Amino acid sequence: MPTAIYPGTFDPITFGHIDIARRASKIFTRVIAVIAENPKKNPTFSVKERVAMAQESLKNFKNISVMPYKGLIANCIQECKASAIIRGLRAISDFEYEFQMAFTNRKMSARAETVFLMPNEKYTYLNSTMVKEIARLGGDVSNFVPEYVERKMRKKLKASGA
């Protein structure tokens, strides 16, 4: 049973993330969305909040689960007994970074094969940073994130005074 991990910060999860997870779920028997603890990215949402948003957003996919992870993805793939790391490529600008990460992960873990998936073209420009900025400026993000995530974003922004 091939398992893949789909790591990311998911701060917050977007329709682009969901599209990549959906595509991966058609290829792999099991997909684990790994919510990375990466304080260097200064996330808006806590790991617990990001896990909850991802679980709600991915609940209709029976072969996708969600878990938090603190540490190296090369270790995560071993612990999850996964055979692949899923990464989304939106544009050429993503490629160099993702290429470096794929080789680094492979060097650290022989099981770390990276599978690159392209999202639907309507999500190629979409990223969490952009969505948060639109929301902070009072824009409509309903085309970018599920309703549940949008509500959580509005509540978080209101609480922070943004």
Q: Output the DSSP codes for 54-114.
A: HHHHHTT-TTEEEEEE-S-HHHHHHHTT-SEEEEE--SHHHHHHHHHHHHHHHHH-TT-EE
Q: Where in the sequence numbering do the catalytic residues fall? A: 17, 41, 90, 128
Nearest 5°: the CA angle 61, 10, 110 is 80
